[in-house]
Amino acid sequence: MKKKIHPKRFETNVMCACGEKFISTGSVEEIKVEICSKCHPFFTGKQKFIDSAGRVEKFQRKYGSLDKQ
């Protein structure tokens, strides 16, 4: 393997938007994430519907309701 081409490894602090914090390894010292295993619907069993910026309404205005067929 070539020397001096690999990034340095750090003990990385990972912070989620839900407030969860944990330590991992990575090429940067700090990572901020929006969703983690403590708040992800797959792991919690609770479904969250997140409609950011009205995308559902925008789609329905553009293409109409799919119930009309």
pTM of the complete model beyond 0.85: no
**pLDDT band at 51, cuts 50/70/90?**
low
CB within 8 A of 37, min separation 6: which ones?
43
CATH of domain 1-45: 4.10.80.400
Q: Where are the domains of the chain?
A: 1-45
pLDDT tens for residues 54-68? 777 778 788 876 665
